[in-house]
Chains A and B, each alone.
Chain A
Amino acid sequence: MTKDEIYSKMSEAIVAGDREAARGLAEEAVRSGLDLLEVVDRGYVPGIQKVGELWEQGEYFLPELITSAEAMKAAMGVLEPELKKRNAGSRAGGRVVIGTIEGDIHDIGKNLVASMLQAGGFEVHDLGADVKLERYIETAEEVGADMICLSALLTTTMMNQRRFIGLLRERGLRDKYKVLVGGAPANRAWAEEIGADGFAENAVAAVKLARSLAGRP
Chain B
Amino acid sequence: MTHPILELARSRTVLFDGAMGTELMARGLAPGAPPELWNAERPDAVREVHAAYFEAGADIVSTNTFGGTPVRLAAHGLEARAFELNRAAARLAREAAPPGRFVAASLGPTGKFLKPQGPATEDELSAAYAEQARALADGGVDLFLIETQYDLREALAAIQGIGSVSRLPVFVTMTFNVFPRGYFTLLGDSAARAAAELEKAGAAAVGANCTLTSEQMVGCIAALRSATTLPLVAQANAGQPAVGPDGKVGYAQPVEAYVRSVPDLIAAGAGFVGGCCGTTPDHVRAMARAIRRKEAS
Contact = CB atoms under 8 A, between A and B. Distances in A.
Does A pair with B? yes
Interface of A: 57-64, 66-67, 102-108, 129-130, 154-159, 162, 184-187, 189-190, 193
B184 interface: yes
B243 to A, nearest CB: 5
A84 to B, nearest CB: 30
Interface residues of B, number: 32
B188 A61 contact: yes
Nearest to B249: A155
Interface string B164-175: 000000000000
Given A57-B180, A62-B117, A103 B31 contact: yes
A184 B255 CA distance: 22
A186 to B, nearest CB: 8
A182 B82 CA distance: 31
B248 A189 contact: no
A108 B248 contact: no
A105 B76 contact: yes
A63 B32 contact: no
Nearest to B25: A156
B249 A63 contact: no
B250 interface: yes
Nearest to A59: B181
B242 interface: yes
Interface in B237-285: 240-243, 247-251
Given A155-B251, A187-B242, A189-B243, 19 more contacts: A57-B179, A58-B177, A61-B186, A62-B117, A63-B116, A63-B188, A103-B30, A108-B111, A108-B186, A130-B32, A154-B21, A154-B31, A155-B241, A155-B248, A155-B250, A156-B31, A162-B247, A185-B249, A193-B243
A67 B111 CA distance: 19
Nearest to B181: A58
A129 B180 contact: no
**Most chain-B Cβ atoms within 10 A of its Cβ — which of A107, A154, A159?**
A154
Nearest to B151: A62
A159 B31 contact: yes
A103 B242 CA distance: 20
12 contacts: A57-B180, A62-B188, A106-B111, A108-B186, A154-B32, A155-B248, A155-B249, A155-B251, A158-B249, A185-B249, A189-B243, A190-B249
Contacts of B243: 187, 189-190, 193
Contacts of B181: 58-59
A58 B31 contact: no
Contacts of A185: 241, 249
7 smallest A-B Cβ distances: which pairs? A103-B32, A61-B188, A58-B179, A156-B31, A185-B241, A105-B75, A155-B249
Contacts of B249: 155, 158-159, 185-186, 190
Contacts of A57: 179-180
